Structure formats: C-alpha cells, structure tokens
Amino acid sequence: MKKYTNISDIKNFSKAIQEALHLKKNPLEFSELGKNKTLGLLFFNSSLRTRLSTQKAALNLGMNPIVMNVSGDAWGIEFEDGTVMNTSTAEHIKEAAAVVSQYCDIIAVRAFPTLTDKAKDESEQVLSSFVKYASVPIVNMESATAHPLQGFTDAITITEHKKVNKPKVVLSWAPHVKALPHAVANSFIHAMQSMDVDFVITHPEGYDLNPKIIGNTPVIYNQGEALKDADFVYTKNWSAYNDYGKVLNTNTNWTITKEKLGAAKFMHCLPVRRNVVVEDAVLDSNSSIVIEQANNRTFAAQWVLKKILEDLK
Amino acid sequence: MKKYTNISDIKNFSKAIQEALHLKKNPLEFSELGKNKTLGLLFFNSSLRTRLSTQKAALNLGMNPIVMNVSGDAWGIEFEDGTVMNTSTAEHIKEAAAVVSQYCDIIAVRAFPTLTDKAKDESEQVLSSFVKYASVPIVNMESATAHPLQGFTDAITITEHKKVNKPKVVLSWAPHVKALPHAVANSFIHAMQSMDVDFVITHPEGYDLNPKIIGNTPVIYNQGEALKDADFVYTKNWSAYNDYGKVLNTNTNWTITKEKLGAAKFMHCLPVRRNVVVEDAVLDSNSSIVIEQANNRTFAAQWVLKKILEDLK
Amino acid sequence: MKKYTNISDIKNFSKAIQEALHLKKNPLEFSELGKNKTLGLLFFNSSLRTRLSTQKAALNLGMNPIVMNVSGDAWGIEFEDGTVMNTSTAEHIKEAAAVVSQYCDIIAVRAFPTLTDKAKDESEQVLSSFVKYASVPIVNMESATAHPLQGFTDAITITEHKKVNKPKVVLSWAPHVKALPHAVANSFIHAMQSMDVDFVITHPEGYDLNPKIIGNTPVIYNQGEALKDADFVYTKNWSAYNDYGKVLNTNTNWTITKEKLGAAKFMHCLPVRRNVVVEDAVLDSNSSIVIEQANNRTFAAQWVLKKILEDLK
C-alpha cells in the first residue's frame, strides 16, 4: 500500500478485516517489521484515540513514533500556490512536507475542515498537499471529508460482533451543540458499502450528506422506521452539507435512547456527548460496544502501517 | 501492586525504600520487565520533574512512555455524572479513562486541586474517576490532595542521607506569593509517619493542615523552637486548609536562612522560589540536597512501576 | 566532545564533515552507542526541522529522546542571579538545569534572542546558564546568536554538492516582514570561515552583522556584484545588528530570482517565505538544494551526539 487516505485504498476489504483481527490476537507478531523506521504524527487538531492508538500500533510494529502538534510546536503553514508570503504563515507546505519526509518513513496527518468553505474542504487542501509534496506514504488521521482509520475500525468491530451473516446497520444522525464535520459519517458509509450488510441512513431533513458518497444507500427521514430490527446503530452528529456547516436543529427527539436501540448494539466513534447524542442508560449498558470499538482503532492502524511498511521494503 | 494513588499503597515501607535504593544502583536490572508495555502519562497541569523522571523510570524498565497534555492535545473532559453535555466538555471521563486503558498498560495522571472547592478537591474527582473507570492500574503524579511519588522520594532521600538511626525531621511552612496545594505536604507527612523519625511540623497559626492527616504528629507554631537540632528541614509552602485555598500571609520571617538551618540538611520538592521560600545561601551550599532529592524521583517512580508491572503478569 | 554550543567546538572541521557524510551512508552503524541513554530536547521556541532531525539522529544512535516544550509543559524559568522570586517565574535555572541533568545524559536547548536587549542576547543568557548549571553536555539547537547544527549542516551540504575544489559561496541578505535573529547567518559565516571556500557576504547598508564574527570576510553592498559567478547562494534574512533588532527595509530588490541565481545552487535553512525571500521559480527548480540541506540536519546532529556519547563513556 502506497498511502491510506481513504477507505478505497484498501483493495480487498474483507481480507483486510480478517488480517486486522489476526493482528488483534497477535499484536507483536510483526514487531521487527518497523525497526528503525519512524512514523511522524502531525496534528493540526485535537486528538485522543487517534493520537494514542496510532502510536500504539506503531510501537507494536517496532516503529519509533514522533508526535508533533503542528500549530503549537512548529510554524504556520501556507497551502496556497504562488502566494507572496508576507503575512502570518512562515513555511509553505511544499517545503514542510518534503522536509518531514527526510526524517520520517511514514507521515500521518490530522487536519479538520473549515466547515465554512465547502470547496476548500472538498479539495482536501491539507491532506492532498501532503500527498503531493511528501516523498513518503501518507496516512489520513482524519481529514476534511474522511476518517478512514475510523471507518475501517467500524467494519472490524461489526464483523467481530455480528450474530447474523448480513446484519442490519443503521447510521443515525444525532443532535449536538456544535457544528461537526462529515468525515466520520462519510468513511462509515464507505466502509458499510464495502461490506455485506443491510445498511440504511437516517437523519432529519436538511442533513443529507454528499450525494456522491450516499450513492444508492437508502436514506430514511423517519428515525423510528429506520431503526426497526437494527443489529447495529451507529450514531453520529454532523452539520448540514447543503447549507454547509450549519446547525439546523438540535432536536433532542433524535437522541438515542435504550428504548429506540432495542436489541441492537450501540456504536459511536467517540468523543460522545452524553445525554445529547445518546442517553447514559445506553452507554452504561452492555448494548454499547464503543470501548471495544475504540480498542480496534489500534489494529486498524496497525494493519495500515504494516501494509505500508511491507511496500517500503 | 494494583495502583499507586497514595503512600498507603506501599505495604512494607522500609523494604520499599531499600528496594528503590537497590534500583538506583542497578537501574537497568529489570530492563526487560516492561518490554512492549506502554505507560500513558496524562498531564492536566504543568510538570518538569515528574514528566521527565517518570518517563526515565519507564525507559529504565523497557516500557514505552506516551505523554499527553490533556488540556492542549485532546478534548475537554466531563467529570460529573448524569450531566447533559451540551456546553464546553466534549468527552466524559467514563469513556476517556476506559479508552486510554485500551492503549496503555498503566496510566499515570497529574491533576491539581481547584483550591476553591474543598469538597471537590477532597473527593479527588479526577484521580478517583480514573481509578473507577480505567481498566488498568493508575499512578498518581500529583493529585488534589496527595503527591505520593514525591513523598516516597523524600523518604528514600532521608534514608540515604541520615547519620543517626532516628533523625529529627521538620516540615516547615514557607512564604509564597501564590496559593499552593497541600498535596506535597500531605504525602510528606504520610511518608514520615511511616518511618522511624522524630517528626514535627511548624507553620504560622491559620495554616493547620487536614487534622485527619496530621494525626498525632506534633505541630509547633514557633519555627525557631521546631527547627532546633533538626537533621532535615523540609520546606514547603501551602495555602490555608481551614480558610480554604487562601494566602493568609507572606511573612518573610518564615523564609529558611542558613542561620535557621544550622547543621540540618535542606530539602524541597522543587520548583522553589529563591529568596522567598529559602535564601540563595542555603540552596547554593552543601547543606542543600534538593538535586539529589530530584534524582531520586526516578527510582521512586521506577519502584512503583516495577511493582505494578510484576502484578500485571 | 564535552558540549556543542558553537561551530568552534568542532576541532577538525573537514574531518567532521567527512565523518558526517559517512554517517549519512551508514546511519545505523552506531545504533548501540546511545542505548539506555536519554536526550532531553528543551524548546523555548517553535521548531520543525530541529525538533524532528535531532530526534531522528538520537534514534539512529539508539538513544531515547524526550521532548519538552518548556513554556507550555513546565514552569516559568528565572535566569537572573540573586533575584527575589516573588513574581511570575517559578523555578530558577540553577535548579532546572541541575534537575534535568539527573534524567538526561545530554540536554539540547533552543532559546531565541529577545532582539530588543542586545547585551542580554550576546551574553547567551539561556544557553550559557544551561552550560553553567547542568552537569551533562549541552547541545545548542539555536540560541540567541548561534545555530551551529545548521552551520555544520550547511558545510556538509556544500561539501557534498561542490563541483570545484574551492567554490564561491555568497551569503545574501533577503527581505522579510518580521525581525529575525542573526544566529543562522553567524553560524554560517563561522562554518564558511572554517572551510576552503571563496566566501563573500552581501546585504543592504545598515545590515552589517557583528564585526567580531565577520572578521576578514569581504562584505559587498552591491548584490549583483557579489553574486557574480557564485557556486552557492545562501539566502537569509536578519534584522539590523547595529540598530539592534530593527527591520530597516523590506526592499524586494533583494529577493533572489532565477536570473540573479544563474548557475549557482540555492540554499536556505528554512522555513522560507516564498516570493519574499526567494521566488517560486528558484525553489521549484533543480537549482534549489534546500530539501537535501534539511536532510543533512539529521547527520550533523548525529555526528555531534555521537562525539558527545563517545566522551561520556
């Protein structure tokens, strides 16, 4: 594998899931593979799970992780071409990406969207600049429009927990006080479209996601109808896509309750706002698999790093 | 050992001191013990000694340390139960602690008190939430009311430097411009109460510490009387406990001078404000053992991590 | 080697360059030398290249790097002697340096100048305090007046790329919107004065650097004349030295263009402001060797750490 910026970089999705589950049982089997190799983790935004699980994955493979909070530790980075850099940014991405490539064998990047400039976000300015100007493989630790380490994790978790061959999986929008990105929802949709599941999306009208990503996946505006007989309910807030980045409603009717969940397993990428997105009773019950889901982040990242390391040789 | 949140977690205190001194002479004797194990160091507050010495201790045991400044690097954490999280905190401690436990074999936490809400501080909200919701052992890197890595270090240092079987040890309050926590004083008192020393506490009236911690230890309001014939003078500022978190006076009469110190050794946990807490002449003399004391932080932490690692097996 | 604070700490400069180039070809040849040794990297200022390349160098030697952003992670440090510390600084450099020496075998420090207090900057207050009070070797990761890891790197890069025995090297001032330090220019001058090159400096009048550093190196105020027949053009902005820390002009006539560069190679320490210091056409051409220059930072640092480690034994 030459990079991991999107779910589609995984060529054989079901095989990848099985290999990741194998790594989960044998996390140190390839602990020599990454010896004397360095993973640079560049954070333009906050991170807990991604920060720790990606480092853990690198350590399991014998790699040396080096973490950098770009904003606080280094220089303001310019992404526009041809600009006269006489204002606040001190270093152009052309140099930054090429330079980091001198010290790191793989570069992982987190860079959230603006949620105000749709065209800029959809161009994936930060991530695609790293892909373009770095001379080493790039791993997406959540970009403007995709969070493929999370999406792959979610597929692994559903595979692990499913009781029927083709479970029913529902992606249900949830209320939130802040405008959140579409990345997690997008990559979850990609992952589900790559698996043999009965998949539906439900959200209030106005919250329709990018139609190119939705494709043929059914969207139902009635949450109750969508949740019926679900095996997995994946809950996530996102801001409007058409009325870009706007919070159209914070309707608590969409909060997931134990009653709505029924016999389904509850999933969320975390962090989750309790009693806004989902009530305590769900998270504190055995129906919630969010912690196991977070645990699988390590093995999703480890699979990705392993495939990239194998191709470096 | 299943956790280290308080001096009382050390069952055989004098044996532990001897084992820590053995580690000091043989820091790499157990360098395979922590192999492929990860120590997560979570800082809610500033740290120099604790940050570096705990990492060094982990490295001596072959562990991989991962450092996270919670406030800057991750998400605002909610500690209250049952709250509707529609304001500033983005992640509940129930998830945060459980999730970090997926990536780290041991979690070390630093979280200072509010010094405005006595009940909250005494409940040790942050530390005890980690103990409750993490699934791995917790190490206290200074909490609202205790700094047991420091207290253990202090006991090691006194044992190393004592010239008589039962030295006289004085904990002397010192002036300071800011309101400081009680944690260092509390754990030092615990440590001294666990050793065979002649121990007295001295401070201005109004600065009495928690009577449950003081117990039968004599408190003398006259500094000169208390310091008489001392072998070790441990100096530390703290804010008032009864008039909680208040600075009642900044009386420089309480500053430690060479004259007051006499033949005693001077100790302080550091950082120390020169010519406020203690005059230059003391710190710059051979009577000061603060740097050796700081050095012992490594071996106190290493002993603790070693005991916890042994119990993980 | 007992420390590396200045280019002059390298006793045999041309041998050092050859040894660094050998390390570049064999980066893991001495990967056991630094085993169980810790490098503390203390940053008082932002850093990208230095942060990553120095860690990479330490890892190549088997060392454990520990990074600390002093301002954000730890306590405000006092550098004045005899001060009554009752204001904002919480820890004196005497303790800070001595304490970090307990946990780290080598300490690397980055501390930029004030650019407002010339005497303070020239005293190298931060760096020289570390040298004075630490008990372990100090490495300069850019101080008020010197950046010797960069200067050594530059010499390595010129040696690698030169086509004639004694190339012509020009240090050319460039415009910039902010007041920048003299450290890079100073250490580059030191490095060039230590090599067999035809070296000239060019800058607008008023930008003369410290005459003690310039020594006999020719200074030409006419950029065109200076650049004539150059093999290497090293471009760097600095603020005025006589009218200390002032930006006297931002004259874009001094920007390096492809035309001005001619057949020379373009060098810069980075970060570089595009179309202010140098036009895109230069950086995006094969004439630019700034990325290879950045790559050599690793091997300059690795040579320095290796020499210091060898002397620790």
- A276-303: b or e for each residue (b if 16 or more CB lie within 10 Å)? bbbbbebbeeebbbbbbbbbbbbbbbbb
Residue B250, pLDDT > 90, answer: no
- Give Cα C157 distance to the centre of its chain: 14
Token representation of residue C148? 């010797």
CB within 8 Å of B81: residues ≥ 6 apart: none
B78, B94, B99: residue with CB nearest A48: B99
C55 with A98: Cβ contact below 8 A: no
Token representation of residue A277? 């997105």
Please check whether residue A151 is in contact with residue A85, taking contact to mean a CB–CB distance below 8 angstroms.
Answer: no
Q: Return the residue of B nearest to A61 by Cα.
A: B36
Q: Residue B204's pLDDT is what?
A: 97
- Would you list the DSSP string of C69-127? EHHHHS--EE-STT----SS--EEHHHHHHHHHHH-SEEEEE----SS-HHHHHTTHHH
B298 with C64: Cβ contact below 8 A: no
Confidence of residue A36 (pLDDT cuts 50, 70, 90): very high
| pLDDT tens sequence across C135-177 | 999 999 999 999 999 999 999 999 999 999 999 999 999 999 9
- Give Cα A288 distance to the centre of its chain: 19
Q: Does the ipTM exceed 0.90?
A: yes
**Measured between CB atoms, does B72 come within 8 Å of chain C?**
yes
CA-closest candidate to residue B85, choices C178, C134, A278: A278
Bridge partners of B29? none
Average pLDDT along chain C: 97
Q: Residue A251's pLDDT is what?
A: 81
A52 with B40: Cβ contact below 8 A: yes
A30-49 average pLDDT score: 97
Q: Residue A283's pLDDT is what?
A: 98
| Strand order through the sheet with A64-69 | A64-69, A38-43, A106-110, A138-140
Token representation of residue B107? 């979690």
Q: Return the residue of C nearest to A102 by Cα.
A: C295
A103 with C59: Cβ contact below 8 A: no
Residues B120 and B133: their CA atoms lie apart, in Å, by 18
Q: Return the residue of B nearest to A176 by Cα.
A: B86
Residue A72, pLDDT > 80, answer: no
A274 with B90: Cβ contact below 8 A: no
Chain A residues lying within 8 Å of B38, measured CB to CB: 56, 59
Enumerate the known binding-site residues of C for carbamoyl phosphate.
47-50, 75, 110, 147-150, 269-270, 297
Chain A closest CA to B96's CA: distance in Å? 8
Q: Residue B306's pLDDT is what?
A: 98
Token representation of residue B146? 């205790």
Token representation of residue B242? 């009864």
Residues B256 and B233: their CA atoms lie apart, in Å, by 9
Please check whether residue A47 is in contact with residue A141, taking contact to mean a CB–CB distance below 8 angstroms.
Answer: yes
CA-closest candidate to residue A144, choices A103, A185, A175: A185
Residue C284, pLDDT > 90, answer: yes
Residue B250, SS3?
Answer: coil
Q: Is B87 annotated as a binding residue?
A: no
Question: How many CB pairs below 8 Å do chains A and C form together?
Answer: 89
Confidence of residue B295 (pLDDT cuts 50, 70, 90): very high
pLDDT exceeding 90 applies to what percent of chain A?
Answer: 96
Residue C241, SS3?
Answer: coil
Give partners of A (≥3 CB pairs < 8 A). B, C
Distances (CA, A) of A76 to A57, A85, C113, C272: 29, 11, 20, 11
Q: What is the DSSP letter of B203?
A: -
**Measured between CB atoms, does B40 come within 8 Å of chain A?**
yes
Chain A residues lying within 8 Å of B93, measured CB to CB: none
Q: Residue A141's pLDDT is what?
A: 98
**Measured between CB atoms, does B263 come within 8 Å of chain C?**
no
C129-136 average pLDDT score: 98
Which helix H or strand E contains B65, and what residues bound it?
A: strand B64-69
Residues B224 and C306: their CA atoms lie apart, in Å, by 53
Chain A residues lying within 8 Å of C274, measured CB to CB: 78, 83-85, 92, 94
Please check whether residue B112 is in contact with residue B179, taking contact to mean a CB–CB distance below 8 angstroms.
Answer: no
Q: Return the residue of C nearest to B298 by Cα.
A: C103
Residue A199, pLDDT > 90, answer: yes
Domains located in chain C, CATH noted = 7-146+297-312 (3.40.50.1370), 148-293 (3.40.50.1370)
Residues B150 and B1: their CA atoms lie apart, in Å, by 18
In the 3-class helix/strand/coil scheme, how is chain A assigned residue by residue?
CCCECCHHHCCCHHHHHHHHHHHHHCCCCCCCCCCCCEEEEEECCCCCHHHHHHHHHHHHCCCEEEEEEHHHHCCCEECCCCCCCCCCCCEEHHHHHHHHHHHCCEEEEECCCCCCCHHHHHCCHHHHHHHHHCCCCEEECCCCCCCHHHHHHHHHHHHHHCCCCCCEEEEEECCCCCCCCCHHHHHHHHHHHCCCCEEEEECCCCCCCCHHHHCCCCEECCHHHHHCCCCEEEEECCCCCCCCCCCCCCCHHHCECHHHHCCCEEECCCCCCECCCECHHHHCCCCECHHHHHHHHHHHHHHHHHHHHHHHC
